[in-house]
Structure 1
Amino acid sequence: MTGKGFKRLLGAALLGGSLLAGVQAFAASLVVGDQSFNARTVMEAAGVLADLPYELEWKQFTAGSPVAEALNVGSLDVGLLGDAPPLFLGALGAPIKVIGISQQNREGVAILVRKDSPIRRLEDIRGHSAAIWKGSWSQQLLFTALERAGVSPEQVQLRYLGALDASHALEGGSVDVIATWEPYVTQQELQGARVLATAEELIPAQTFVVATDKAIAAKRELLGDFLRRLRQARDWVLSDPANSERYADTWAELTRADREVARRWFARAAIRVRPVDEAAIAEAQKTVDFFSRIGLIKGYPAASLFDASFNAYLQSPAAQAAR
C-alpha cells in the first residue's frame, strides 16, 4: 500500500471512529428512578431537557423503598428518594452512593390529628392510636417528637400503615394520629386537620439523589449533567411563583391529583438541590443512629455512603467558568 493510500485509509478510519463515537454518545442513556413523576415534571416544565444529548429512561415508583431496591439490584442508574431507604441499604454495604441532596421545607413532614380531636399537645397522644410507616420519616418523626414530650412509644397504640392508608384511617376515625409527608399533609390540612408538630428542628427529612457505583464508574458525565439540570429546574421553580404554579398544574394534570393540593404543596416545599456537605452527612448520621438505636439497622459511619466528587456539577455558572 502506498503512503497516500494508507493516509486515506487512516483518515477514513478516524472519521468512522469519530462518527461512531458521536452515535454512541447520542445513544447513551441514563435510567432514572422517579417518584410519581415529580422530578420528570419539574424538569420538563422548566425546559431543562430541551437540548439533552443523551436519553433519559424514566421509571416511576410510588414510594422510596422500591426505588432503593431497584438501585440495589442495578436496574436504575440514579434515583431520587427520602433518606431512610438508602441509609438502610448503606448499613448492608449496598453498591450505591449519595451524589446530591434535595432539601424541602420540613413543614411538609408532620404529625396530624383530626380537626375535632381532643388531642391538643404531643403529650396527649399517650394512650391513643397512631399510624406510621416503619423505617421512614413518619416513624422517626413520631418517636422523636414523643421522646421530646416525655412519652414512650410503648404508651401509644402503633399501627403500621402506608401513607395513603394512614390518611384514610385518620379520615375514617380508625386512628387518632398520623405522622406523614406530602402530599398527604396538605390534603389533610385542607380538610381541617391540625398539625401537632413538623420535622422542623426534630428530624433531617432529607431527600437524596443516589447513584449506583456501576453508573458512577461508567456514566459520570451523564450523572453530573443530570444533577446540574435538576438543580436548574428546582431553581426555576423558586424564581417565580408563576413557575411553581405551572409546575404544580402540570403535575396535577399528569397524575390526576387535586390542583389546589399540588399548588400548596409545591409552593411550601421550596425544594432546593445542593451539594453533599458536612452538614448533610451529619444529619444523615443522626438518622442512622436513630434507626440503629431502635434496632432496625446496624450503626455505621454515614459518611461512607456519600460521594462529594459531584459537587462541581452543582456550582454556579460563574464558579464553573473559573475552574
Structure 2
Amino acid sequence: MFSTRILAVVAAALLAAGCASSQGAESGQVTLTLGDQANGLQTLLKAAGTLDGAPYQVKWAEFQGAAPLFQAMQSGSVDTGTAADLPTLAAISGKLPIKLVAALRSGGAGTVILVRDESPVHTVADLKGKTVVVSSARGSIAEYLLATALQQAGLKYSDVTVQFVLPTAAQAAFNSGQTQIWATFDPYGSIGVASGGRVLVDGQDGRVSGIGFISAAQSSLDNPAKKAAIADFLTRLAKAEDWASSHQDQYAAIYAKTNGVAAPIAAKVVAHGSTRLGPVSPDVVSKVQAVSDLMHQIGSLPVDVKVASVADSTVYQGS
C-alpha cells in the first residue's frame, strides 16, 4: 500500500485540474503516457503490480531506443521517458524541454561491446582501425561505453569508424555475421551473446556511470495534476524496483514470458538491470556531469549540458 499523503496530493491536484484538463478521461482523471524502451518498465510494473489502483489512467508508449522515445516527447505525445544518462543529455542538448525527475542505478553490466565469437579482436586496443556499429544513435549509452573504453586503452575516438544503427537492425546484422563489432545495451546485448557474441568489454568498473533517468516533459510538469501523478508513479516505480531486487527469479520468469525471450537471457537482463530508484542527488549530478563533459569534448554532444540546471528535485525525493 502507498502512503495516504501521496494519494491525497494526487487527489487534490486532480480535483484542482477538474474537467479542464484535455488530458483526462471522462471521469476527470489524468492520463499519463509513459515512454518505455523494449518493454522494460512496463514489464517490471506489471510483474510487481505496483501500478494497480493508481488514481490516474496509464498509457504505454514503446520504443526500440532512446532517440525515437525523445522524438515522441518532442511532439508532446509522451509525458515521461526512461533512458540512460547520455541519451538523456543528448536530448537536452538538442533543446528538448524535459527535466530529470528521478535516477535509476545499475552496475553497468547491461551495456556492452560485443564481437563475434570467431573475431580476432580480443582487446579494446584491437579496435583501432575497425568499424564499430553503435545502437541506437549518436548520444547513446553504448557510444559512451565505446568512448570511455577507447580512452582507457589509450586510443582516440577517431581511431575507429562508428556507424549508428537501430538495435533490431543491428541485431539482425550481428547475428548473420555482417556486423562483427557492436556496442549495445540490454536486452539486445544479452540476446547477442546468446547468438554467438562475445563480450569484449562492458560498462562495469566505472566505464559507464550506471545511472539512468526518468525524465518528464516540462509541459507535463507545468500541469499540477500531471505533476502529482508523475510523483505518485515514481513512488510506485521505486516499490517495483524493490520488489524485483527481492524476487529476481520470479521477475525473470515473467520477463521471459512477456517478451518472448529464453529464460537464460531473461535472467541476465534482470540481473543486469537497475537496482533502485532514487532522487537526482548531488552525487548523481556530479557523475553525470562528467559524462556530459567527456562527450562534449569528443564532439558527440553539441552542448555541454549543465546537469544541475535540468534536475527537478520537487517531484521525487525518494521513498
Q: What SS does structure 2 have at the residue aligned with 1:107?
A: coil
Q: Aligned pair in 2 of structure 1 residues 281, 173: CA closer, same or farther (>3 Å)?
A: same
After TM superposition, give the deviation of residue 299 of structure 1 in Å: 1.8
Q: For 2:129 and 2:90, locate their aligned partners in 1 and report how far apart those are by CA, in whole Å.
A: 30
Q: Where is the helix percentage greater, Structure 1 or Structure 2?
A: 1
After TM superposition, give the deviation of residue 228 of structure 1 in Å: 0.1
1:283 aligns with 2:290: no
2:315 is aligned, of 307, 310, 314, to 310
Q: For 1:179 and 1:310, locate their aligned partners in 2 and report how far apart those are by CA, in whole Å.
A: 33
**Partner residue in 1 for 2:227:** 220
**Partner residue in 2 for 1:261:** 265
8 A contact 2:107–2:210 mirrored in 1: no
**Partner residue in 2 for 1:62:** 64
What is the letter of the counterpart of residue 217 of structure 2?
Answer: T
**Partner residue in 1 for 2:97:** 95
1:166 aligns with 2:206: no
1:127 aligns with 2:129: yes
Instruction: Indicate the larger mover: 97-106 or 182-191.
Output: 182-191
**Partner residue in 2 for 1:202:** 207
After TM superposition, give the deviation of residue 230 of structure 1 in Å: 0.4
Q: For 1:136 and 1:270, locate their aligned partners in 2 and report how far apart those are by CA, in whole Å.
A: 17
Q: For 2:69 and 2:45, locate their aligned partners in 1 and report how far apart those are by CA, in whole Å.
A: 19
What TM-score do you get using the length of structure 2 for normalisation?
A: 0.83
8 A contact 1:33–1:78 mirrored in 2: yes
Q: For 1:29 and 1:154, locate their aligned partners in 2 and report how far apart those are by CA, in whole Å.
A: 46
1:293 aligns with 2:297: yes
Q: For 1:116 and 1:185, locate their aligned partners in 2 and report how far apart those are by CA, in whole Å.
A: 17
Q: Aligned pair in 2 of structure 1 residues 180, 295: CA closer, same or farther (>3 Å)?
A: same
Q: For 1:89 and 1:170, locate their aligned partners in 2 and report how far apart those are by CA, in whole Å.
A: 27
- Per-residue deviation, residues 124-181 of structure 1 (Å, max 9, x unmatched): 2223332114221122211221121122333334333222333333333333321111
Q: For 1:67 and 1:252, locate their aligned partners in 2 and report how far apart those are by CA, in whole Å.
A: 23
1:112 aligns with 2:114: yes
What is the letter of the counterpart of residue 298 of structure 1?
Answer: V
8 A contact 2:175–2:196 mirrored in 1: no
After TM superposition, give the deviation of residue 192 of structure 1 in Å: 4.7
- Per-residue deviation, residues 247-274 of structure 1 (Å, max 9, x unmatched): 3333333332333311221123243211
After TM superposition, give the deviation of residue 208 of structure 1 in Å: 1.0
Q: For 1:150 and 1:85, locate their aligned partners in 2 and report how far apart those are by CA, in whole Å.
A: 25
Q: For 2:102 and 2:297, locate their aligned partners in 1 and report how far apart those are by CA, in whole Å.
A: 26
- Per-residue deviation, residues 85-126 of structure 1 (Å, max 9, x unmatched): 331232244321010011223011111222222222111222
Q: For 1:108 and 1:283, locate their aligned partners in 2 and report how far apart those are by CA, in whole Å.
A: 18
1:73 aligns with 2:75: yes
What is the letter of the counterpart of residue 222 of structure 1?
Answer: A
Instruction: Indicate the larger mover: 229-238 or 139-148.
Output: 139-148
**Partner residue in 2 for 1:320:** none
Q: For 2:195 and 2:62, locate their aligned partners in 1 and report how far apart those are by CA, in whole Å.
A: 28
What TM-score do you get using the length of structure 1 for normalisation?
A: 0.82
1:156 is aligned, of 152, 155, 160, to 160
8 A contact 1:37–1:251 mirrored in 2: no
**Partner residue in 2 for 1:9:** none
Q: Aligned pair in 2 of structure 1 residues 160, 65: CA closer, same or farther (>3 Å)?
A: closer
- Per-residue deviation, residues 51-109 of structure 1 (Å, max 9, x unmatched): 21111122222211122122223212212222233312322443210100112230111
RMSD after superposition: 2.4
What is the letter of the counterpart of residue 73 of structure 2?
Answer: L
**Partner residue in 1 for 2:182:** 178
Q: For 2:143 and 2:272, locate their aligned partners in 1 and report how far apart those are by CA, in whole Å.
A: 22
Q: For 2:193 and 2:81, locate their aligned partners in 1 and report how far apart those are by CA, in whole Å.
A: 29
Q: Give structure 2 stretches of 5+ with no counterpart.
A: 1-14, 20-24
Q: Aligned pair in 2 of structure 1 residues 89, 190: CA closer, same or farther (>3 Å)?
A: closer
Q: For 1:158 and 1:86, locate their aligned partners in 2 and report how far apart those are by CA, in whole Å.
A: 20
Q: What SS does structure 2 have at the residue aligned with 1:245?
A: helix
8 A contact 1:81–1:207 mirrored in 2: yes
- Per-residue deviation, residues 297-319 of structure 1 (Å, max 9, x unmatched): 1223121111112233x22xxxx
Aligned length: 293
Q: What SS does structure 1 have at the residue aligned with 2:178?
A: coil
